Amino acid sequence: MPKMKTRSSAKKRFRVLKSGKIRRERANASHILEHKNPRQRRRNRKTVLVNPADTGRIRRQLPYG
């Protein structure tokens, strides 16, 4: 059987944890930070888990994750 391809876009954005949950970075954290308030900037540093409704779609994009 041929190997399945991993989506490059998904592999750059998501990490699969040992528990099987999927971790992602927060949006709006990369540039134009000057006008964002400090609380928002601090929150954006942390990673969060992907919503359970979206995990199936992401798992299909990361077949060997």
Residues 6+ apart with CB under 8 A from 47: 23, 24, 25, 26
pLDDT tens digits, one per residue of 9-41? 999 999 999 999 999 999 999 999 999 999 999
Q: How confident is the model at residue 65 (pLDDT cuts 50, 70, 90)?
A: confident
Domains of the chain: 8-61 (4.10.410)
Rounded to two decimals, what is the model's pTM?
A: 0.84
Amino acid 6: pLDDT: 96
